[in-house]
Structure formats: C-alpha cells, structure tokens
Chain A
C-alpha cells in the first residue's frame, strides 16, 4: 500500500548512543516532516524538508539532525541520545491534499 513507512518501530538506547530513524514515502511528495509526540501533547515539529537536498529546523530541533539525500527518504539522526528524547516519533509527507503519517517509532532512552 502506498504511504509512509518508518523503521524501526521500537528502539531502546542508552544515554549517549546514536541512532538513525528512516522514513520512506512512495507518493512522490516534496514535503516531509519529523515530529515527536509526548504524553498528553500534540505533535511538535523537529525538522522538515521542502524537497530533495533541503532541510529546515522546526519547533524543537536541538539534539537532532536530518538529511534528505533522496526525494523519497528523510532520515532523522540522534548523535548523542538523552533521556529527554524518549518519545514517539512520527514522520509525515504532504501534498496539497493533506498530510500522511507513518506508524511511528517508539524510542526509549535509558
């Protein structure tokens, strides 16, 4: 099925470890986003991209980096994980018809 695919679905990291979350979309969307969702809150934008090779900071970018080397992929990196980054991470892509979300990655930093 067409849509947004996130990997992995779950991950536990130790403080200071690094990891990369992968987001792939097959809808040929130009715009892609990374959000985090914390309990009792709406989504907050970490970084976004308006096209291949471009990235921009969102509301809560500190501690994260992103890359969009290919149009269909948007990577989110944590260089040195901290417990405050324990969250559920959602990737999304958008067109004029609206936004499509991935199934989420539940990350725990211990």
Chain B
C-alpha cells in the first residue's frame, strides 16, 4: 500500500524567509504532483515531476524529485504573503488493472505573516 507523508503539516513563517516542505512516499513511483489549495477553493496544479532528478521552478517555488530516496521537496524562497495556502503532494500509483491512482498527502498548511 502506497503511503504519502508530508511534513510539516503546519508551517507559520515570516515574509522573506526560505523554507522547504517534504513529501515522502513508500512505494516506487515516478510521477509526483504538487498542488496548491486556497481556503474553500479547488486544487491548482503547481508542478508535475516525471523523472528522477527532475527540478521545476515557478516564481518563488521550486520542486524536485528523488525517486531513489522516494522524496520530493517544495522549496519556498523569500516567502510572500500571497503564498499562504495549503500545499499537497500526490503520487501516481500503478494499479493491478494497469491504471494509475493518485495517492495524496495530508497537506501542509502554510501561513506567511507580513
């Protein structure tokens, strides 16, 4: 059974600081997603990581994937208040019927204080 664990689950930080959210998963997979969710809203796709060593950057966010360590990181550089949200990682697990199923982490609630 694939388990996806994020940490921390809650993070309060000051504007201008750097921090990293970690996503560990327990079974081999080479497709990992990061999503952002604002309160009461849907999920916004941030990054799709498809191979070992993949690194993607968008603005102040950078995501990486190490499939050997089964670890992905979401790094926030010089945080700004607008990045306050809940961030989810999700891993595609290949099922017995040859279809993929997304397994989700519990989410990291990020609060950035001015």
Binding site for B on A (CB under 8 A): 31, 33, 40-45, 48, 50, 56, 58-59, 90, 97-104
Q: Can you name 8 A-B residue pairings with CB atoms under 8 Å?
A: A40-B107, A43-B102, A56-B99, A59-B101, A90-B43, A98-B48, A101-B43, A102-B42
Of the candidates B48, B101, B104, which one forms a contact with A42 in the assembled complex, judged by CB atoms under 8 Å apart? B104
Which residues of the partner chain B approach A40 to less than 8 Å between Cβ atoms?
A: 106-107
Please give me the residue from chain A that is nearest to B4 by CB atom: A42
Q: Mark B87-114, 1 if CB is under 8 A from A, else 0.
A: 0101000000101011011110000000
Chain A contact surface mostly: strand
Q: Write the nearest CB–CB distance from B25 to chain A, whole angstroms.
A: 12
Interface residues contributed by chain B, number (CB under 8 Å): 17
Q: In the bound complex, do residue A42 and residue B90 qualify as a contact, i.e. CB atoms below 8 Å apart?
A: yes
Given contacts A48-B101, A98-B33, contact A42 B45 (CB under 8 A): no
Known A42-B88, A50-B99: A99·B33 in contact at CB below 8 Å: yes
Minimum distance in angstroms from A100 CB to a CB of chain B: 8
8 tightest Cβ-Cβ pairs between the two chains A and B:
A42-B104, A101-B43, A103-B42, A43-B104, A101-B42, A98-B48, A42-B106, A42-B105
Asked if A103 meets B99 with Cβ closer than 8 Å, knowing A42-B104, A42-B107, A98-B33, the reply is: no
Given contacts A40-B106, A44-B104, A98-B48, 8 further A-B contacts (CB under 8 A): A33-B102, A40-B107, A42-B106, A97-B48, A100-B45, A103-B41, A103-B42, A104-B41
A104–B37 Cα distance when bound, in Å, is 12
Of chain B, the residue at the smallest CB distance from A4 is B42
Nearest to B95 among chain A residues (CB) is A56
A101: which B residues are within 8 A, CB to CB? 42-43
B101, A98: Cβ atoms closer than 8 Å: no
